[in-house]
Amino acid sequence: MSPKPLSVLVLDDNTVRASIIEAGLHDGGYRDVTILNDVVGIAQRIAEIEPDVIVIDLGNPNRDMLENMFQLSRAVKRPIAMFVDSSDTASMEAAIDAGVSAYVVDGLRKDRVKPILDMAISRFNAYSRLERELEETRSELESRKVVDRAKGILMKSKGLSEEEAYRLLRRTAMNQNRKIGEVAQSLILAAGLLE
């Protein structure tokens, strides 16, 4: 079964530029394209449309317009390609910090739309994967800290070695069909109540 075709939302208040993007998307095989020329109530519209990818063309945006689009990109958690006619380093850095996957300055041409969109999707997926891995690593580190604290409590209260304390935690987790981090957290909470 082939993957579901991606839906693309194009935000552009200039109908000529929007038609260039739309033509580039259609030439690139994207068929499910929605064009919005008005950004009023855009968050609600995005929630209704649920696009897979968003293309924003701002022409010559002012600071407020850029900041509004950056807030939007932080909120929607989707690949975003942003076209602007001119930019400065601060705006480009702000776009990257806001999660814009592709920030293209003075590069709106029909033949560039698909490759830029493909790159935006690829970068978004890579960034999302890194975020997930970072969160898993943080969670593992936190769990390890909790287990170490619980081992310390057992070592002090029961006179166990570190290895014996860990075995007790592991055995308890297995007997209760729980994760060792959960058992360790319960022990820490119980020890806190007894202090």
Domain ranges (residues) in the chain: 7-108, 134-194
- This prediction has a pTM of 0.69
CATH architecture of 134-194: Orthogonal Bundle (1.10)
Conformational region of residue 10, where left means phi above 0, alpha means psi within -120 to 50, and beta covers everything else:
beta
Place of tokens 């970068």: 123
CATH architecture of 7-108: 3-Layer(aba) Sandwich (3.40)
**Structural tokens at position 150:** 């619980």
**What is the tens place of the pLDDT at every residue in 8-43?**
999 888 888 899 899 999 998 998 999 988 877 888
Matching CATH topology for 7-108 and 134-194?
A: no
Which pLDDT band holds residue 3 (cuts at 50, 70, 90)? low
Span of 1-5, 72-76, 155-159 with lowest mean pLDDT:
1-5
